């Protein structure tokens, strides 16, 4: 099986290359199915890996040495252990379903070649990221998914706002990426290797650099996973097509930060302060995202802020050492959030591109199937007790948070988030689907199969995945955490009584949240808005703040450098120098040329004239004087030859 | 077969032949130039394949007496470092001809001769191991470039050519003084007056004298690289040069400066260079950030790329003065990567200019829809330029930073900021040129076959360097190891100027 490991990221990679180089030759109608096949082969290989024993023993494959300098040889090599197996299953599974969905969703688009190229490339990058056996290759995948995210957010690039959203996403995540890069350098300098097998476990000894490195890795994760304070790019990223939002900005890429921290968790255990920070940022983001989601009118922006908030739960779990639970929530979230995005996309599509929830409700464009799927997704997101996957994964995180340092406070924030989650998602559901007035659009007929099948499959998963891990203290199976135990330690939970109380409270929160949505929607229909509506709708005004703090000063610095240093100092200095030479030349011309040289020449000329006059005097035509001169001269010469000691 | 002599004189003689024989026939001149540069490329690849390193790590050495009275020889040699740069020089030759195909409007034969002559000069620079011979080639590559910019350039070509010439001539005069200096010091010490590089390596120049001589070389190279604050000729020269001139300037001429540092500054004056290393690294990091910031506010696309060169070459200097195998390997790989990436970017801007007669970003916008191929290529090279893993520049930048972090984490962090700064101006450029709504109503024609070929070669090189740089890294390990050994045994922490 190991020899086929490369096929998991390789198949979509080859797909992307083929689309890029030969896509023009393929018939346009075949192109989507070709891309689906590339994604499908990848998913099939993952399935084969499950059957082939990857669930027990890690599979490894090294393709070739990437760089080799001075004994350090990072390779292009893959490791499929249990942690990676969870990730590749989610990525290739959801990825394949969304490729299939795209076939029907994007069929009216003109530039499908570009779309499927980046979709396939994204899958390849994401799979490289989770399969990489060293940090350098992980970074490769990390950047590749960032690129695809950029390109797909800006897929409709003719709209400058959408193109700018892509650029913003790339730039903000690059800040995190740079922190990650610095962490990689520090690890390399300290240990001389970047291979996970050698780096982790770090051994028993303390390493004082651990805090700095863990912090830098955290910043990298915050950027990719859109957590405070680097969350600003994700709501704007909704400019991309809905399947892209579902795949990249909900199910897979944005959870890369969670994967990264889970993969490097021994480092965080050496730095408890940083680990607690992970949890603290998590709970702050939960409340932040949920509160912003409350005030959005764009259905996709609600889901975007919801993603920000839900990833906060995963960070909370990571910060409490409950890595397996973080992954569990990652998996369930991938299902129900992809489901929500895909049903929202279908809805928007049939409403002719309308995003506003109020008007979507008036149009009443959703068919029964879409409504049902959205309801399942919303229920799972709100963690409706017992039936939904979201309940099992979120509930476990909440109890695990209780035992962390300052756990009570963490729990309180997380529970508040759980309450708000129910409110905001059911606000959307009720506004969009339960409109008493006469519908403007008749619900269409059957959904196209490529759309219906992924929706129904994801709905089924959103209801069933939770049964893998029953709540702590109950009699049900704990398949998930026991299976991952060999790689990720078990989460700690409070004692039996407390656990029970907490579980009951959080279940109550979900139900209370849903109940609160009803009066809220009624209020909104009456035309009243939330308090602090605009503050919440603009995401706590982070964009304006960052524009003032960073963007504008950066541009001002660049302009100032161009004006003062480049033009004012260097160019002006050079001009001054040239000018100095010119002045010197002019001065020389005046002083030396006109003064000394000219005067000297005048002297010379005058002297020559005088001399000429004197010489002319010799040529007076008197023969006797000529004869005297000739004789004197001859005598002198003779005397010279005869009597000069060295002469003759 | 004296391959090295062939490499230098084939373009020179070929160019002269074309000039004399063409009789003003454009087709003859450009086909001839393409033929000569292609043959040159084939020969270089052949030389690479059959090369077998001698005991001293040199693949080829040619030594003839030239002016024995003062110890000047005709001494050519090639090691791994020379080889990779000669490869780059040969690769850019045919491409420079291809991009000039229709862009050069008048007097193609003379243009062909000057282009080939500058290629010959650059080959000579990379292959000479006698300091006088080196100086001769150093000046030889300058003169044709002056005429290329001055005769075939754009609006302000005379100003740019003049500035370029003054800057580099000033630098190289200092180098000449330094060359004579080390010649006399060596003669004084050994009684053997020679300009032979291999013998001069053993000269003991320490203290203030060594520092001054080193600085003489350094200034000449710094102007060529160019380092902040002597970079001011570069944006003008790049902007005003014809496309082929920009490609040669960015791809090759700048590399001769960095090559000079590696070949002469470090090994000839190890002590002085080690003392100077913190300053060198600081100059590098200033260049990285300054270039990236200035690039953001440029309106002229060629000027923008010129400032990005300042930033990238800052990384190269950064890596060189880190003076460990990672830093040095990274610097050389980045030199190659910058050669192909920036060369390709200039080629692309040239293609845009041929179509629209402008380089102003404000005149572009939305060009991806009429020209998807051009847009795709521009994105590829833009990504490479911003250090996307899997593409050429990343390998170089990563190794450079890995090298720097071993000495000075503080400086390393400052250099790593370049990763963010790069993405800001490059994406801004891409968006302004390619994305958004189509700004100007004109008929844009997508890339033609000839253009696809030249960009395709660049693209292949970028991917090769990015995904499988091992062949290049392997042949570099020998010569870079020699430079390492010449160092005064720097151990970690000794050069920690930035901490």
Answer whether residue B373 shows pLDDT above 50: yes
Residue B405, chain A, CB below 8 Å: the answer is: yes
Q: How many other C-beta atoms are found inside a 10 Å radius of the C-beta of residue A205?
A: 6
CA closest to A111 among chain B residues: B369
Answer whether residue A631 shows pLDDT above 90: no
Pairwise CA distance, residues B239 & B34, whole Å? 24
Residue B488: DSSP 8-state: -
Mean pLDDT of A136-152: 93
Residue A568: DSSP 8-state: I
β-bridge pairing B72-78 and A59-65: unpaired
Contact criterion met (CB below 8 Å) for B252 and B88: yes
pTM of the model: 0.89
Nearest-CA distance from B420 to chain A in Å? Answer: 6
Q: A185 contacts in B (CB within 8 Å)?
A: 401-402, 405, 409, 412, 416
Alpha-carbon dihedral sign for residues A575, A577, A583, A586: negative
Pairwise CA distance, residues A218 & A264, whole Å? 10
Q: Dig out the tokens for A362 from the structure.
A: 């008036």
Q: A160 contacts in B (CB within 8 Å)?
A: 431, 435-437
For chain A, how many residues are written?
Answer: 648
A209-259 confidence digits (pLDDT tens): 888 999 999 999 999 999 989 999 999 999 999 999 999 988 899 999 999
DSSP annotation string for A297-323 = -BHHHHHHHHHHHHHHHHHHHHHTT-H
Task: State residue B491's pLDDT score.
Answer: 43
Q: Dig out the tokens for A167 from the structure.
A: 């650029």
Share of chain A above pLDDT 70, in %: 96
DSSP annotation string for B136-181 = HHHHHHHHHHHHHHHHH--TTHHHHHHHHHHHHHHHHHHHHHHHHH
Answer whether residue B129 shows pLDDT above 60: yes
Confidence band of B69 (pLDDT split at 50, 70, 90):
confident
Task: State residue B260's pLDDT score.
Answer: 93
Chain-chain contact of A185 with B405 (C-beta, under 8 angstroms)? yes
Answer whether residue B495 shows pLDDT above 60: no
Q: Which of B415, B242, B235 is nearest to B317 (CA)?
A: B415
Nearest-CA distance from A558 to chain B in Å? Answer: 5
Nearest-CA distance from A256 to chain B in Å? Answer: 17
Answer whether residue B209 shows pLDDT above 80: yes
For chain B, how many residues are written?
Answer: 499
> Phi and psi at residue A478, in whole multiples of 5°?
-120, 50
Task: State residue B339's pLDDT score.
Answer: 93
Confidence band of A53 (pLDDT split at 50, 70, 90):
confident
Q: A170 contacts in B (CB within 8 Å)?
A: 423, 427
Confidence band of A645 (pLDDT split at 50, 70, 90):
low
A413-447 confidence digits (pLDDT tens): 999 999 999 999 999 999 888 875 555 555 556 78
Residue numbers of A between 536 and 555 with CB closer than 8 Å to B: 554-555
Nearest-CA distance from B434 to chain A in Å? Answer: 9
Q: How many other C-beta atoms are found inside a 10 Å radius of the C-beta of residue B68?
A: 9
Who has greater pLDDT, B368 or A634? B368
The minimal CB distance from A558 to the residues B296, B409, B419 is found for: B296
Q: Dig out the tokens for A204 from the structure.
A: 């028993």
Q: How many other C-beta atoms are found inside a 10 Å radius of the C-beta of residue A209?
A: 18
Answer whether residue B499 shows pLDDT above 80: no
Tell which of B286, B381, B420 to mutate to test the A interface (max A CBs under 10 Å).
B420
Region of residue A406 (left: phi > 0; alpha: psi -120 to 50; beta: else)? left
Answer whether residue B494 shows pLDDT above 50: no
Contact criterion met (CB below 8 Å) for B197 and B131: yes
Pairwise CA distance, residues B312 & B343, whole Å? 13
- ipTM confidence score: 0.90
- What is the separation of C-alpha B275 from the centre of its chain, rounded to a whole number of angstroms? 26
Answer whether residue A198 shows pLDDT above 90: no
The minimal CB distance from A143 to the residues B389, B417, B469 is found for: B389
Mean pLDDT of B417-441: 87
Chain-chain contact of B436 with A167 (C-beta, under 8 angstroms)? no
Nearest-CA distance from A19 to chain B in Å? Answer: 13
Residue A296: DSSP 8-state: -
Pairwise CA distance, residues A434 & A428, whole Å? 10
Mean pLDDT of B437-455: 85
Residue A646, chain B, CB below 8 Å: the answer is: no
Sequence-distant (6+) residues with CB within 8 A of B167 are: B223, B230, B232, B233
Share of chain B above pLDDT 70, in %: 97
Q: B485 contacts in A (CB within 8 Å)?
A: none
Residue A188, chain B, CB below 8 Å: the answer is: yes
The minimal CB distance from B437 to the residues A144, A158, A558 is found for: A158
Contact criterion met (CB below 8 Å) for A472 and A399: yes
Question: Which CA distances in Å does B340 have to A226, A603, B40, B295, B327?
Answer: 35, 65, 18, 19, 20
Task: State residue B104's pLDDT score.
Answer: 85
Residue A627, chain B, CB below 8 Å: the answer is: no
Mean pLDDT of A170-177: 92
Q: B398 contacts in A (CB within 8 Å)?
A: 67, 136, 181
B162-184 confidence digits (pLDDT tens): 888 888 888 889 999 999 999 99
Residue numbers of A between 121 and 150 with CB closer than 8 Å to B: 136, 139-140, 143-144, 147, 150
CA closest to A162 among chain B residues: B436
Pairwise CA distance, residues A100 & A122, whole Å? 15
Mean pLDDT of A175-203: 86
Pairwise CA distance, residues B261 & B221, whole Å? 7
- What is the separation of C-alpha A529 from the centre of its chain, rounded to a whole number of angstroms? 34
Mean pLDDT of A387-394: 89
Residue A171, chain B, CB below 8 Å: the answer is: yes
Task: State residue A568's pLDDT score.
Answer: 82
Q: Please classify residue A621 by burial: count the beta carbons closer than 10 Å to its beta carbon, then call 0-12 exposed, 13-18 middle and 19+ buried.
A: exposed
Who has greater pLDDT, B15 or B56? B15
Confidence band of A478 (pLDDT split at 50, 70, 90):
confident
Q: B383 contacts in A (CB within 8 Å)?
A: 147
Chain-chain contact of B416 with A555 (C-beta, under 8 angstroms)? no
Chain-chain contact of A139 with B389 (C-beta, under 8 angstroms)? yes
Chain-chain contact of B423 with A174 (C-beta, under 8 angstroms)? yes
Alpha-carbon dihedral sign for residues A22, A27, A31, A34: negative
Answer whether residue B498 shows pLDDT above 70: no
Q: Which of A469, A467, A493, A465 is nearest to A481 (CA)?
A: A469
Task: State residue B279's pLDDT score.
Answer: 92
Chain-chain contact of A562 with B290 (C-beta, under 8 angstroms)? no
Task: State residue A170's pLDDT score.
Answer: 92
DSSP annotation string for B264-315 = IIHHHSHHHHHHHHHHHHHHHHHHHHHHHHHHHT--BHHHHHHHHHHHHHHH
A491-533 confidence digits (pLDDT tens): 888 888 888 888 889 889 999 999 999 999 888 888 888 888 8
Confidence band of B493 (pLDDT split at 50, 70, 90):
very low
- What is the separation of C-alpha A292 from the centre of its chain, rounded to a whole number of angstroms? 21
Contact criterion met (CB below 8 Å) for B308 and B385: yes
Residue numbers of B between 423 and 442 with CB closer than 8 Å to A: 423-424, 427-428, 431, 434-438
Chain-chain contact of A158 with B389 (C-beta, under 8 angstroms)? no
Task: State residue A479's pLDDT score.
Answer: 84
Nearest-CA distance from B415 to chain A in Å? Answer: 10
E strand or H helix at B6:
helix B3-22
Helix (H, G, I), strand (E, B) or coil at A298: strand
Who has greater pLDDT, A622 or B423? B423
Confidence band of A107 (pLDDT split at 50, 70, 90):
confident
B286-336 confidence digits (pLDDT tens): 999 999 999 999 989 999 999 999 999 999 999 999 888 899 999 999 999
Q: Dig out the tokens for B354 from the structure.
A: 């041929």
Residue B2, chain A, CB below 8 Å: the answer is: no
């Amino acid at each position: 099986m190991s020899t086929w490991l490369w096929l998991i990221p390789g198949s979509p990679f080859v797909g992307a290359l083929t689309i890029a180089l030969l896509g023009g030759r393929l018939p346009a109608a075949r192109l989507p199915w070709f891309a689906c096949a590339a994604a499908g082969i990848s998913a099939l290989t993952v399935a084969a890996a499950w059957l082939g024993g990857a669930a027990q023993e890690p599979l490894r494959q090294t393709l070739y040495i990437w760089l080799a300098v001075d004994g350090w040889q990072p390779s292009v090599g893959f490791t499929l252990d249990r942690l990676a197996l969870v990730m590749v299953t989610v990525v290739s599974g959801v990825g394949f379903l969304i490729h299939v969905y795209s076939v029907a969703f994007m069929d009216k688009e003109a530039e499908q070649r570009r779309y499927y190229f980046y979709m396939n490339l994204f899958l390849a990058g994401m799979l490289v990221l989770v399969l990489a056996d060293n940090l350098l290759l992980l970074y490769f995948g990390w950047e590749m998914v960032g690129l695809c995210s950029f390109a797909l957010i800006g897929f409709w690039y003719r709209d400058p706002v959408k193109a700018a959203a892509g650029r913003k996403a790339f730039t903000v995540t690059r800040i995190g990426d740079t922190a990650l890069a610095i962490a990689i350098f520090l690890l390399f300098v300290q240990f001389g290797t970047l291979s996970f097998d050698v780096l982790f476990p770090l051994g028993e000894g303390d390493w004082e650099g651990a805090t700095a490195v863990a912090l830098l890795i955290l910043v990298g994760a915050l950027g990719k996973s859109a957590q405070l304070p680097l969350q600003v790019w994700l709501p704007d990223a909704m400019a991309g097509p809905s399947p892209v939002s579902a795949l990249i900005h909900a199910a897979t890429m944005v959870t890369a930060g969670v994967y990264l921290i889970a993969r490097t968790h021994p480092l965080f255990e050496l730095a408890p302060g940083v680990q607690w920070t992970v949890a603290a940022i998590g709970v702050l983001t939960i409340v932040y995202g949920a509160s912003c989601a409350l005030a959005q009118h764009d259905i996709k922006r609600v889901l975007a802020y919801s993603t920000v908030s839900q990833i906060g739960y995963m960070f909370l779990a990571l910060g409490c050492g409950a890595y397996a639970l973080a992954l569990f929530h990652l998996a369930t979230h991938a299902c129900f959030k992809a489901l929500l995005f895909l049903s929202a996309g279908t809805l928007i599509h049939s409403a002719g591109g309308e995003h506003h929830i109020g008007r979507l409700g008036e149009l009443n464009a959703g068919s029964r199937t879409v409504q049902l799927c959205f309801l399942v997704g919303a229920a799972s997101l709100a963690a409706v007790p017992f039936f939904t996957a979201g309940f099992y994964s979120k509930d476990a995180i909440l109890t695990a948070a209780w035992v962390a340092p300052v756990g009570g406070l963490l729990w309180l924030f997380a529970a508040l988030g759980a309450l708000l989650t129910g409110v905001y998602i059911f606000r959307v559901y009720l506004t969009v689907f339960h409109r008493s007035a006469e519908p403007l659009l008749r619900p269409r007929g059957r959904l196209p199969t490529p759309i219906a099948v992924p929706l129904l499959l994801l709905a089924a998963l959103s209801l069933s995945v939770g049964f893998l891990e029953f709540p702590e203290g109950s009699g049900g199976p704990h398949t998930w955490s026991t299976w991952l135990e060999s790689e990720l330690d078990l989460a700690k939970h409070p004692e039996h009584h407390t656990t029970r109380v907490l579980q009951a409270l959080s279940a109550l929160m979900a139900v209370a949240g849903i109940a609160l949505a009803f009066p809220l929607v009624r209020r909104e229909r009456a035309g009243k808005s939330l308090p602090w509506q605009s503050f919440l709708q603009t995401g706590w005004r982070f964009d304006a703040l960052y524009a003032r703090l960073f963007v504008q000063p950066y541009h001002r610095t660049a302009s100032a450098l161009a004006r003062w240093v480049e033009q004012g100092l260097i160019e002006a200095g050079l001009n001054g120098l040239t000018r100095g030479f010119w002045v010197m030349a002019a001065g020389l011309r005046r002083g030396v040329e006109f003064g000394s040289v000219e005067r000297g020449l005048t002297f010379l000329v005058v002297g020559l004239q005088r001399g000429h006059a004197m010489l002319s005097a010799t040529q007076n035509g008197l023969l006797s004087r000529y004869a005297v001169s000739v004789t004197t001269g001859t005598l002198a010469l003779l005397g010279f030859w005869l009597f000069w000691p060295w002469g003759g | 077969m004296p391959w090295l002599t062939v490499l230098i004189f084939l373009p020179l003689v070929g160019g002269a032949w074309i000039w004399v024989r063409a009789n003003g026939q454009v087709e003859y001149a450009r086909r001839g130039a393409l033929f000569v540069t292609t043959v040159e490329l084939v020969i270089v690849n052949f030389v690479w394949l059959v090369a077998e390193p001698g005991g001293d790590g040199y693949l080829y050495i040619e030594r003839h007496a030239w002016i024995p009275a003062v110890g000047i020889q005709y001494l050519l040699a090639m090691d791994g470092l020379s080889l990779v740069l000669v490869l780059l020089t040969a690769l850019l030759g045919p491409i420079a001809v291809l991009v000039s195909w229709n862009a050069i409007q008048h007097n193609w034969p003379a243009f062909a001769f000057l282009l080939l002559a500058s290629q010959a000069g650059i080959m000579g620079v990379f292959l000479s191991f006698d300091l006088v011979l080196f100086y001769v080639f150093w000046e030889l590559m300058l003169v044709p470039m002056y005429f290329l910019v001055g005769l075939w350039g754009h609006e302000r070509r005379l100003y740019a050519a003049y500035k370029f010439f003054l800057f580099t001539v000033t630098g190289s005069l200092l180098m000449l003084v330094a060359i004579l200096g080390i010649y006399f010091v060596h003669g004084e010490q050994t009684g053997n007056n020679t300009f032979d590089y291999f013998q001069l390596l053993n000269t003991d120049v320490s203290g203030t004298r060594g520092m001054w001589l080193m600085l003489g070389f350094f200034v000449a190279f710094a102007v060529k690289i160019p380092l902040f604050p002597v970079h001011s000729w570069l944006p003008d020269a790049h902007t005003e040069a014809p496309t082929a001139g920009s490609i040669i300037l960015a791809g090759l001429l700048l590399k001769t400066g960095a090559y000079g540092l590696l070949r002469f500054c470090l090994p000839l004056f190890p002590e002085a260079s080690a003392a100077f290393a913190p300053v060198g690294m600081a100059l590098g990091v200033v260049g990285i950030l300054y270039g990236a910031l200035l690039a953001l506010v440029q309106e002229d696309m060629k000027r923008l790329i010129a400032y990005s060169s300042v930033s990238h070459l800052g990384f190269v200097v950064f890596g060189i003065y880190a003076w460990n195998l990672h830093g040095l390997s990274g610097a050389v790989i980045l030199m190659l990567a910058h050669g192909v990436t920036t060369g390709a970017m200039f080629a692309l801007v040239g293609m845009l200019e041929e179509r629209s007669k402008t380089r102003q970003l404000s005149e572009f916008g939305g060009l991806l829809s009429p020209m998807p191929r051009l847009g795709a290529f521009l994105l590829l090279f833009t990504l490479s330029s911003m250090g996307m893993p899997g593409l050429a520049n990343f390998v170089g930048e990563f190794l450079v930073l890995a090298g720097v972090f071993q000495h000075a984490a503080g400086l390393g962090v400052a250099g790593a900021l370049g990763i963010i700064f790069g993405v800001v101006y490059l994406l801004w450029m891409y968006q302004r040129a390619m994305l958004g709504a189509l700004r100007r109503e004109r008929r844009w024609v997508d890339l033609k076959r000839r253009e696809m070929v030249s960009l395709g070669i660049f693209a292949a090189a970028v991917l090769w360097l990015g995904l499988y740089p091992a062949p290049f890294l392997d042949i570099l390990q020998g010569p870079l190891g020699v430079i390492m050994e010449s160092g005064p045994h720097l151990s970690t922490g000794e050069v920690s100027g930035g901490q």
